[in-house]
Each structure stands twice: as C-alpha cells, then as structure tokens.
Structure 1
Amino acid sequence: MQGISLYDHNSLSKELRLQLATLDYFLYEFSQYERINFEPHRTRAYAICLLSKGELKVETDLFYNHIVAPAIFIIAPSVIRHFLHTTGEFEAQTIFFDKNFFLENQANIAYLDQYEFLYSKDKHVVGLNNTEHQKLSTYFQLFKQTTQESFAKTPAIARSLIYIILDVIASVQEAQDLQPSISLTRNQQLLFEFKKQLASDFMRHRNVSYYAQKLFVSPKYLSTVIKEESGKTAGEWLDEMVLLEAKILLQNKDLTIAQVADQLNFNDQSTFGKFFKNLTSHSPLDYRKQLS
C-alpha cells in the first residue's frame, strides 16, 4: 500500500508562503534565513535544487547526502526527503514542477524515466564546476523571469526551460560518469543494494530473510555486513524506514491513528503505537500534537 504525500502543490506553496499564478511550476529561493521543513516528507512535485552557496545535509530514502556548493540536487515525488542541517552562507534556488504539466504534448509518458538522477539513490546529487554552475544559474534566472510573466506562451517557455535544465544535468552527469571513480568494496555495495531494496519493499516485507534472499546471501551474512558497514543492524534499518513513513502519514491529519497503522500494515493500532513509542519515546498522538 502506498504512503501518502505530505505536500501537494497547493500545500507546498502555502508552506513556502508563496502567492502563485499557477501551481504547475514555480521557483523558490532559499537562504540561511528561510525556514526549511526538517521533518521527513514527500511532495507531489518534482524538485530541482541549485545550491550556489553553503552546505546541505539531507537523507533521501535513508541515503545520506552531504551536498557542498556548487551542486544540483534533484528529487522525484516518490522519494522521502529529510533535511538534517544547513550550514554556511546558504543560498539555493529550487524549481518545482508538476509531472502532468511537464508531459503535456509529450507522446512518451515515460519520458522522465530516462533521467537516472531522478530515481537512482546514488545519483540525486550532481557536483558542478564553475562553468556548469554558471550555465545552470543562467537557466534558473530565465525560469524565474518566465514565472513572473503571464503571456499565452509563458507555460510553454517554462516547460522548455525545464527540458533544457534536465538535459544539461544529464550531460554533466554523463561526463562525470566517464571519469575514474572510487569503486565500492563488496560489503559497501551490499549495504547500498540492501538500502535500495529496502526503500522499494519495506511496506510489504519486514523480514531480514526476504532481503537476504533478494540479495543472494544468507540472513546471517547480510546482518553481519550491514552492522559492520553502517553501525546499524538490518532490523534497525527496517525500523527506521517504517518510522519515516509513519511520520509522513501522521502529518496528514485527515488520517486517524488507526488508519495510519493500517496503511503501514500493522495488525492493529496498539501494535503500531508500541512500535512508534519504542523508537521515539512519544506516542503517535503526541508526535502529531507536537507538529501543530
């Protein structure tokens, strides 16, 4: 069963305190003085963030990213993002866009699937050199100017600029992929594959044996490697992923606690409550009240 996104386009614009002519596409500029939601969340919009100054620490589906400017950071709607920390003279611009808007007049409805950086857990962050940053910064400024216009062709121009930005990012990443890189050890690769599989299947499968079978190793070997490489057991990673999803669902106040427990495939509300309190020291209801 799928989790529920915290921010649709309307609630996202309200969170950012924006008065928008359209919710299909918009740009928001962050600085060290701006509030960033530090609770785990999703959005229904695609997000392309150009980090020009400072550093950002964020988890995407349990994958830790330490982003140092200049860099571009791209997230698809399905990805849970948890902003942990910003530091330095922080400055970033983020383009948000709706998939249906982007695909308007596009015959290939799977067009966005070609961009590996949107979905691959190790590709969300693309470092930039000064030339690449300047090029993307120019396109972001053009996009910003376009969003402030209201001509008949404005949506088409905005859409074209998103196409261009995505292709520029893809070209930068392609060039970087040709450069020699540090290979992961076998154990590091196993941890990476485990977390990737976990992000995909945790709603249906919470048994370490399942993931061991998918990764063609024994449960004991998987548990040993995961603990050695990450400092956490495989079971702790499972619990953390379920907890992230629980926090997202609890932020949707249209759902009762019992409905959240059901969506997370717990046997009952009591079992879910014990799980949540054991990990956070708060009941699900107390956590929800703290968000108000």
Structure 2
Amino acid sequence: MIELPLIDFDTLKSGLYIYDCYHDDILVADLNGQDVFLNDSVRVNALQVLLVLEGSIDLSIDYVLFQASVNTVVTIMPTHITKVMKYSDNFRGRLLAVSRAFLEQSVMPNHSSSMIQYMQIRKNPTALLQASEIKALDDCMLRLRQTILQTSHHLQRLLIQNTLMGFFIEMGNIFSERKEYNTSPSLTRKEELFESFLRILYMHCKEQHVVSFYADQLYITPQYLSLILKELTGKSANKWIDEALMQEAKILLKAPQATVQQVADALHFSDQSTFGKFFKKHMGMSPMEYRKNS
C-alpha cells in the first residue's frame, strides 16, 4: 500500500524565488505573489511559520479556512494538509520552514506550558500580533538567514540550532502574553465534538468513509453528528468525509509512481471503478484526466 506523498525541501524550494537554505533542514524565504499559487492541497514534512508583512492570504489548513492579514503569524505543523485559497495583490511575507528531523534535534519542548502552547497553536494556527511583535519575529528570521549564509563557520549547524532556538523563545514569549495560548480552551460540547471529529477524520478518512464510524467513535448518533456539523460549519458529515477523501485522492494522484488502482486501494475503495465514479462525481473528470491536467 502506498503512503500519502509529502512535499520535500527540493519541491518546496522549486516554487520559491528568494530564499536561503541549509541542506534540506531549514530555509528562510521571502514571499510575494510570484511565490504563491492557488494549488491543490499539499503536505510539507516540515514546520512552517509564515509572517504576513503586507496584504493578506487565505489558507485552508486541515480543511478549515483561515484568513491571515498583515501582522499575522501562521504556524503550520508538519504533515498538516494546506491549500492556498487566495491572496491580495500586495501580499508579502517571510517564511521559515524547518524539517521535522531538524526540529526534533533542535527544539524539544516538554514542560506543560510549552505543550499547552503547542496544542493551542495547532488548534489556532493564525494569530494577529502587534507590529512590534511581528518585527521581532522577522528580525529573528533575518538573523537565522545570516547564520545560514555563514558557510565557513566550523560549527555552523550548532549556530543555526541556537539561532532557531532563539526564534522559538521569542515566539514563546509573545504567545505567553496571550491568555488563550496558556489556558485550556473553553468549548461548548458541540465544539468539543467538532474538534474531536476533525482529529478522527484526519486519522481515518482514507479507510473509513461512512458517518456511522465517526459517530461511534464519538459515542453519538450519526444524525446528531450531522446536525452538529451542519450547525457549526454549514456542511453535513457526509460532505466533510467526501471532501477529506477527495483531498487525499488528489494528493495521491500527483504521485507519478502510483497507479490509479493503487490510489483506489490506498483509499480503501472496493475497486478502481467505484473510486473512478466517486472521483468523477466530485471533480467532473476521471482520475486519469485529473492526473493529466495536473
């Protein structure tokens, strides 16, 4: 069975014009309209931190829409599914991307306050900051870029790790001033169920296609689950499942080594024909036509 492909650093760099990179571990890039394109959902096996310096950008992160205007920081955790929905003509940003392996070697927060911040940032990937706070984070990114350029430094890797740690310390200090990132969120029962549904959907959408599975995991009826989702999001449970499954299908079809039959198997369809009918119903074209157009 094939796994969902992850965008690596080489692929990430191929879409950027101005960036500095240390091996395939960390990069700092300048973003504008040339570097941003409306694409299908992708996964990047790296932590990404985007500072919106001018304009605005709309992103779908794990199927939820987030709007980021000037002075917003966007934090995308490794393997999250993201999609650029739209951006303003004057959009400009700075991007930091750190591979999961380098991140684990460099920053391993384990005390409770750090974990609270981690969970809150994961749940709320966008935060509107003060202009001075964005500048502080941007200065840290620029210092990190300078360490990447110091290729003759005998301890460059350690220097980069320490500079990266400084960035996260600054980021942690900024978030520590915000109550919402240091206390458990106050959610209604319906919001808790919605959050749990998204987590289960992210983990199981490839093999579980029916509402009853997710309702059973949440100990509620399928009808009540659909009612909650319709009330909170305007979309039924079936719609959420189908959209998540389509995102996975489109990602898989972009892997040239995977046949349509392998994609159908990976997504637990009974056969290629059933998968093809499902895909055409939602995309208006067959999987092969989609692959050719992509």
Aligned with residue 173 of structure 1, among 168, 172, 175: 175
- What are the superposed Cα offsets for residues 26-48 of structure 1, whole Å, 9 maximum, x if unpaired? 11111123343522101122211
Q: CA–CA distance in 2 between the matches of 1:200 and 1:2?
A: 16
Moved more, 270-279 or 162-171: 162-171
> Which residue pairs with 1:160 in the alignment?
162
CA contact under 8 A between 1:49 and 1:93: conserved in structure 2?
yes
Residue 288 (str. 1) matches residue 273 (str. 2): no
- What are the superposed Cα offsets for residues 193-248 of structure 1, whole Å, 9 maximum, x if unpaired? 32232112222322212222222322111112212322211011000001001111
Residue 125 (str. 1) matches residue 126 (str. 2): yes
> Which residue pairs with 1:270 in the alignment?
273
Q: CA–CA distance in 2 between the matches of 1:110 and 1:201?
A: 27
* Alpha-carbon distance, 1:80 to partner: 0.5
- What are the superposed Cα offsets for residues 223-278 of structure 1, whole Å, 9 maximum, x if unpaired? 12212322211011000001001111111111111111111111211111111111
Cα separation, partners in 2 of 1:102 and 1:176, compared to 1, 3 Å: same
Structure 1 length as normaliser, TM-score?
A: 0.87
> Which residue pairs with 2:30 in the alignment?
29
Residue 220 (str. 1) matches residue 228 (str. 2): no
Cα separation, partners in 2 of 1:54 and 1:258, compared to 1, 3 Å: same
CA contact under 8 A between 2:58 and 2:85: conserved in structure 1?
yes
Moved more, 29-38 or 259-268: 29-38
Q: CA–CA distance in 2 between the matches of 1:273 and 1:28?
A: 39
Letter in structure 2 aligned against 1:276 = F
Other structure's SS at 2:66 match: strand
Cα separation, partners in 2 of 1:117 and 1:72, compared to 1, 3 Å: farther
> Which residue pairs with 1:81 in the alignment?
82
> Which residue pairs with 1:101 in the alignment?
102
- What are the superposed Cα offsets for residues 33-72 of structure 1, whole Å, 9 maximum, x if unpaired? 3343522101122211111111111111112111112121
Structure 2 length as normaliser, TM-score?
A: 0.87
- What are the superposed Cα offsets for residues 124-170 of structure 1, whole Å, 9 maximum, x if unpaired? 22221122112101101111222222022222222222222223323
CA contact under 8 A between 1:74 and 1:117: conserved in structure 2?
no
> Which residue pairs with 2:4 in the alignment?
4
CA contact under 8 A between 2:38 and 2:86: conserved in structure 1?
no
Other structure's SS at 1:103 match: helix
- Unaligned runs of at least 5 residues, structure 1: none
* Alpha-carbon distance, 1:177 to partner: 2.5
CA contact under 8 A between 1:53 and 1:89: conserved in structure 2?
yes
> Which residue pairs with 1:40 in the alignment?
41
* 1:191-270 to 2 correspondences below 5 Å: 191-270=194-273
Q: CA–CA distance in 1 between the matches of 2:132 and 2:109?
A: 32
Sequence identity (%): 26
- What are the superposed Cα offsets for residues 109-132 of structure 1, whole Å, 9 maximum, x if unpaired? 989x94754786522222211221
Other structure's SS at 1:50 match: strand
CA RMSD between the two structures: 2.9
Q: CA–CA distance in 2 between the matches of 1:126 and 1:169?
A: 11
CA contact under 8 A between 1:63 and 1:121: conserved in structure 2?
no
CA contact under 8 A between 1:243 and 1:276: conserved in structure 2?
yes
Q: CA–CA distance in 1 between the matches of 2:218 and 2:291?
A: 36
Q: CA–CA distance in 2 between the matches of 1:98 and 1:178?
A: 27
Q: How many residues of Structure 1 are paired with residues of Structure 2 in the alignment?
A: 289
Letter in structure 2 aligned against 1:43 = V
> Which residue pairs with 1:148 in the alignment?
149
Q: CA–CA distance in 1 between the matches of 2:80 and 2:97?
A: 14
- Unaligned runs of at least 5 residues, structure 2: none
Q: CA–CA distance in 2 between the matches of 1:88 and 1:37?
A: 13
Moved more, 188-197 or 57-66: 188-197
CA contact under 8 A between 2:2 and 2:258: conserved in structure 1?
no
